[in-house]
């Protein structure tokens, strides 16, 4: 079970949180919560730096979120040049954690507003790859 | 005891320099030693600074130290992306203050044309968290664009205000023979330029360049033998922030710059209003505007008004980047901090020519690595 199928372009294959991808394939976006101090992490992490605990539990995010900021890129790194323009967003989930992802191409750039409600949703890509995106509610 | 800067040097910043990295560094080194009473043999340590993803040479410190005639003195490599040479100056400061060394050369360089544009394009995407953010096609302009968007929403900052920073940059670059772009840009040119990552357009962004800088530092008691006009390192601050955007608390400013600034002001026992001239890290127009606020030159949210009122021009409340800044000079990553320090040293020594701030006593350098990842603030005194 490896992480390498995550994202349009992936750079990481080995990680303690590789099962994030399995959950994503099951339609769930998961965060991790430290069993000792209770802190919730997204992106998920396997180790809590606050108390050095490695006892972490998976917790599903509802996906309900608000847009904090965004940009529409007309210039892109390798692997994304055919996708421009695309909009990168940073959202805050109702659970308090933040998610960095692309906004769905179905959202018109003119409609995008800081503060708008969005839904973080798993998204299957070609070549059996998988990611998540931000859709309109 | 104190730490001083006794010599500064820089090559032209340009698109394709056509020489190798050791030759590039030699030019900056020679320029730094030109007007001072010091031979390479008297330098007892060197710190070489660059961002290694642009270098073909592994461990460039050894190569460069040999070419400058500095072996067998120890040489070290310092890296903090775009603030590598400010980090080098911090390392140099520690060497001198601890008494380990007496005279240190800090050489920053980058030959960004060393790799192909395809390779550069590939590396560009890996400046973010490669596990959780690079898979979404991010890059440097996008990161700063998201901060710009957030700043606009929070404070009402406008694209015109950002454009005015580039207009200022173009005006002063005319007087800087080492700058890559030496032409004035109108507000209309800025606003009509193609979008890179909204709301940032072409002239809101700096350009890659080749170049090198050199800062010669010495313990205070050695300084007077080397030059009549040593400049004192009065305050030096450094901080970091999270690499991942998802962990950032502040989306309308750089906390690492605020922290580094506070440390430097405290150490130098001065306040922001005491600064006569400043160089700030304007890799993007929004970065300069946030720096005004983060360094206390104005209140949070008033950066747009500060540039609109021309208060950061020569003759204004606080002249900023009156050598053209990164926006016009170009940004050869590892050389940039040294170039900023060179500008301020020249100002404090009264050698800034047409852009001299009359009677400048205290100068400040703000140099950032990554998207607000590494913050460095250095305060220099005549």
**Structural domains counted in chain B:** 2
A79, B125: Cβ pair inside 8 Å? yes
B149, A70: Cβ pair inside 8 Å? yes
Give the range of the structural domain holding residue A114, as residue numbers without chain letter: 19-136
CA atoms within 13 A on the CB side of B153: 19
Check: pTM over 0.95? Answer yes or no.
yes
Helical spans, DSSP H, in chain A: 19-25
Whether B307 and B332 share a structural domain: yes
Residues of A in contact with B133 (CB under 8 A): 100
How much is the ipTM here? 0.97
Establish if B155 belongs to a structural domain: yes
Angle, in degrees to the nearest 10, between helices B159-173 and B285-294: 100
Among A78, A80, A100, the residue with its CB nearest the CB of B132 is A100
The Cα B210–Cα B113 span in angstroms is: 7
pLDDT, residue B118, reads 78
Whether B79 and B149 share a structural domain: no
**Structural domains counted in chain A:** 1
Which carries the bigger pLDDT value, residue B123 or residue A62? A62
pLDDT digits (tens, 9 = 90+) for B158-196: 999 999 999 999 999 999 999 999 999 999 999 999 999
A78, B122: Cβ pair inside 8 Å? yes
Instruction: Please report which helix (H) or strand (E) contains residue B142, including its range.
Output: helix B140-155
Give the range of the structural domain holding residue B57, as residue numbers without chain letter: 3-117+209-231
Mean of all residue pLDDT scores within chain A:
96
pLDDT digits (tens, 9 = 90+) for B223-244: 999 999 999 999 999 999 999 9
Whether B271 and B345 share a structural domain: yes
Please check whether residue A41 is in contact with residue A99, taking contact to mean a CB–CB distance below 8 angstroms.
no
Residues of A in contact with B139 (CB under 8 A): 73, 75-77
Establish if B128 belongs to a structural domain: no
Establish if B131 belongs to a structural domain: no
Establish if A13 belongs to a structural domain: no
Chain B from 236 to 255: CB within 8 A of any A CB: 244-247, 251
How many other CB atoms are there within 10 angstroms of residue B351's CB atom? 12
Q: Which candidate, A102, A68, A98, places its Cα nearest to that of A83?
A: A102
- CB pairs A-B closer than 8 Å: 119
The Cα B283–Cα B6 span in angstroms is: 27
Q: Is A66 within 8 Å of chain B by CB? A: no
Please check whether residue B290 is in contact with residue B151, taking contact to mean a CB–CB distance below 8 angstroms.
yes
- Of chain B, the percentage scoring pLDDT greater than 70 comes to 100
Establish if B122 belongs to a structural domain: no
């Amino acid at each position: 079970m490896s992480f390498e199928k995550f994202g349009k372009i992936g750079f990481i294959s080995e990680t303690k949180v590789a099962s994030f991808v399995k959950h994503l394939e099951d339609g769930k976006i998961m965060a991790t919560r430290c069993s000792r101090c209770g802190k919730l992490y997204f992106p998920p992490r396997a180790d809590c730096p606050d108390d050095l605990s490695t006892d972490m539990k998976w917790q599903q995010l509802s996906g309900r979120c608000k847009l904090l900021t965004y940009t529409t890129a007309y210039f892109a790194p390798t692997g994304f040049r055919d996708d421009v323009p695309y909009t990168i967003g940073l959202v805050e989930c109702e659970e308090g954690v933040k998610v960095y992802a692309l906004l769905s191409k179905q959202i018109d750039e003119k409609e995008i507003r800081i503060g708008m409600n969005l839904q973080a949703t798993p998204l299957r890509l070609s070549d059996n790859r998988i990611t998540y995106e931000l859709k309109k509610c | 005891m104190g730490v001083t800067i006794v010599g500064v040097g820089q090559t032209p910043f340009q698109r394709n320099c056509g020489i190798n990295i050791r030759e590039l560094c030699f030019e900056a080194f020679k320029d730094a030693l030109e007007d001072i009473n010091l031979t390479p043999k008297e330098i007892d340590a060197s710190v070489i600074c660059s961002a290694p993803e642009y270098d073909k040479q592994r461990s460039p410190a050894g190569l460069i130290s040999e070419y400058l005639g500095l072996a067998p003195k120890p040489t070290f490599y310092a890296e903090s992306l775009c603030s590598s040479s400010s980090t080098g100056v911090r390392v140099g400061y520690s060497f001198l203050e601890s008494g380990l060394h007496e005279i240190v050369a800090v050489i920053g360089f980058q030959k960004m044309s060393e790799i192909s544009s395809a390779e550069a394009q590939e590396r560009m995407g890996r400046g973010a968290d490669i596990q959780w953010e690079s898979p979404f096609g991010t890059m440097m302009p996008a990161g700063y664009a998201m901060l710009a968007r957030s700043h606009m929403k929070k404070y009402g900052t406008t694209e015109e205000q950002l454009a005015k920073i580039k207009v200022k940059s173009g005006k002063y670059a005319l007087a800087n023979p080492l700058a890559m772009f030496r032409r004035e840009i109108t507000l209309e040119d800025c606003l009509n330029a193609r979008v890179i990552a909204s709301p940032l357009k072409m002239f809101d962004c700096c350009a890659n360049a080749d170049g090198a800088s050199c800062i010669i530092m010495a313990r205070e008691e050695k300084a007077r033998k080397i030059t009549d006009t040593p400049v004192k390192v009065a305050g030096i601050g450094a901080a970091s922030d999270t690499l991942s955007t998802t962990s950032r608390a502040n989306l309308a400013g750089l906390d690492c710059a605020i922290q580094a600034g506070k440390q430097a002001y405290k150490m130098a026992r001065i306040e922001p209003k005491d600064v006569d001239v400043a160089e700030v890290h304007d890799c993007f127009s929004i970065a300069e505007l946030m720096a005004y606020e983060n360094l206390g030159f104005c209140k949070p949210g008033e950066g747009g008004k500060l540039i609109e009122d021309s208060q950061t021009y020569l003759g204004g409340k606080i002249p900023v980047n009156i050598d053209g800044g990164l926006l016009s000079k170009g940004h050869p990553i590892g050389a940039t901090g040294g170039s900023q320090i060179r500008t301020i040293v020249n100002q404090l020594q009264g050698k800034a020519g047409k852009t001299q701030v009359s009677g400048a006593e205290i100068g400040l350098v703000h140099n950032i690595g990554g998207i607000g990842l590494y913050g460095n603030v250095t305060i220099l005194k005549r």
